[in-house]
Amino acid sequence: MMNLDTTVELLRDFLRIDTTNPPGNEEKGALFLQEFLRREGLSSDIYVAVPGRANILSRIKGSLNGKPIILLGHIDVVPAKRDEWMCDPFAAEVKDGFIYGRGAIDMKAQVICQLAAFVDYARQGVIPKRDIIFLATCDEEVGGDHGVEFMLDAVPELKDASFVLSEGGSMFEENGSVHAQVSVTEKRLSQFILKAAGRGGHGSMPHGDNANEKIVAAARRILAYKWPLKAMPVTSAYFDGVLKDQYAENIKFPGLKDALRTREWRNCLERNEMYNSVLRNTVTLTILKGGEKVNVIPSESCAYFDSRLLPSQTHDKFFEKIKKLAGNDVAIERIGEKIPSPGPSQYNTVYFQGIKEAMQALKGNIPVLPFVTTGATDMRYFRDLGIPSYGFFPVTLTKEQHMRMHGKDERISLANIKEGLDGCRAIVNFLASDRIP
């Protein structure tokens, strides 16, 4: 079996391969994984989408044909600014029990733990019921065209998968208690640009047709609007599990639907960044561009918004409201909508039950709950095909650790690697078992 030290060293070597996307260069990462699999006596195939951008697939053959189980991960990472980090984001330094590196949480550690569990299963020599496929792809962080989308064409059998396990959920530690968030759906990406045109001129002579002022006024109205807090079956199940027996200003949690009708509970839910973002549409102003000189009135200006919609919200209804708020002085350009936004995966399934039992066997009687990922992942491609797809990496993260994802000083603890290894093994054992339909 892969021991902790070997797994940690494997992860550190993987983190040292710079797969910042753009441009990606994931082929180096895929070759690294292939070399490891080769040393373990397992064959694999590399699928190059465009020069330098590659995906890798390895398989443990099952006793039945078709409907494989996929352990999915991505090789690419988001950019890291060296000067903002306290150490080199691609040196995989270990300090105070943590491995630092871009991709530590998102998601090279999960790729390595899934790989270790996959290799360990293969070493046992037991034949799983369904094929178990280890798949690591490129291009997740920028759209997925060369990654999952490319692979679904290159290996059509993937479209017939019975189940996909990937990122988006983990165990979460808050106020001393731990629960597992198994992501079964994600919010819809709905980004847009506000554009304004006006009349240029000298800053000393305002004329009321200033592109920047139009953008500021429209952005203020958009940002001031409070999107309604809404309960969905997934979030009701989640909050009913997490907040059971909790109090907000002396009022016991009455269930999500009723909580949203109670002022005290609404305030409490809104104040928590994570709760707030899974209960409503969010609209975030991320880029402002306008003007070049302090004494010149700009004739053009624009603002970029990153909005994430509840899975039940349609793009068209959302933009009806945005248009009203923005007013007539600005134009709206919708971006990022080509990405499919399918409905949730079911969670009254043997897969959910199996993961729950595996985690409770390792962690005691913790709540294992369905969850909504606020970011977008490659699982949307599989959910779009109706394949049950869960985001879950069995490690316990604090909110602080979670927030470092895509931020500075991203890190994962050595204790997490141990947990991830044990958890992935337990989950792979279940996924290979006769309980899978």
Smallest distance from Zn ion to CB 392, Å: 13
Smallest distance from Zn ion to CB 11, Å: 15
Smallest distance from Zn ion to CB 5, Å: 26
Considering the complex, state which of residue 27 and residue 106 has its C-beta at the smaller distance from Zn ion: 106
Smallest distance from Zn ion to CB 78, Å: 8
Smallest distance from Zn ion to CB 275, Å: 22
- For position 27 contacting Zn ion by CB under 5 A, the verdict is no
Contact (Cβ atoms closer than 8 angstroms) between residue 139 and residue 49? yes
Smallest distance from Zn ion to CB 264, Å: 36
- For position 106 contacting Zn ion by CB under 5 A, the verdict is yes
Considering the complex, state which of residue 139 and residue 167 has its C-beta at the smaller distance from Zn ion: 167
Considering the complex, state which of residue 21 and residue 301 has its C-beta at the smaller distance from Zn ion: 21
* 159-178: contacts with Zn ion (CB under 5 A): 167
Considering the complex, state which of residue 170 and residue 210 has its C-beta at the smaller distance from Zn ion: 170
Considering the complex, state which of residue 147 and residue 342 has its C-beta at the smaller distance from Zn ion: 147
- For position 412 contacting Zn ion by CB under 5 A, the verdict is no
Smallest distance from Zn ion to CB 375, Å: 8
Counting residues that bind Zn ion (by CB under 5 A) gives 3
- For position 69 contacting Zn ion by CB under 5 A, the verdict is no
Stretch that binds Zn ion, among 100-108, 253-261, 270-278, 383-391 (CB under 5 A): 100-108
Stretch that binds Zn ion, among 106-114, 128-136, 147-155, 351-359 (CB under 5 A): 106-114
Smallest distance from Zn ion to CB 168, Å: 8
Indicate the residue whose CB is closest to Zn ion.
106
Smallest distance from Zn ion to CB 122, Å: 25
**Residues β-bridged to residue 177:** 174
Stretch that binds Zn ion, among 98-106, 264-272, 280-288, 321-329 (CB under 5 A): 98-106
- For position 378 contacting Zn ion by CB under 5 A, the verdict is no
- For position 107 contacting Zn ion by CB under 5 A, the verdict is yes
Considering the complex, state which of residue 107 and residue 117 has its C-beta at the smaller distance from Zn ion: 107
> For every residue of the chain, which 3-state class applies, written as one string?
CCCHHHHHHHHHHHHCCCCECCCCCHHHHHHHHHHHHHHCCCCEEEEEEECCEEEEEEEECCCCCCCCEEEEEECCECCCCHHHCCCCCCCCCEECCEEECCCHHHHHHHHHHHHHHHHHHHHHCCCCCCCEEEEEECCCCCCCHHHHHHHHHHCHHHHHCCEEEEEEEEEEEECCEEEEEEEEEECEECEEEEEEECCCEECCCCCCCCHHHHHHHHHHHHHHCCCCCCCCHHHHHHHHHHCCCCEECCEECCCHHHHCCCHHHHHHHHHCHHHHHHHCCEEEEEEEEECCCCCEECCEEEEEEEEEECCCCCHHHHHHHHHHHHCCCCEEEEECCCCCCCCCCCCCCHHHHHHHHHHHHHHCCCCEEEEEECCCCCHHHHHHCCCCEEEEEEEEEEHHHHHCCCCCCCEEEHHHHHHHHHHHHHHHHHHCCCCCC
Q: Which residues make up the interface to Zn ion (CB under 5 A)?
A: 106-107, 167
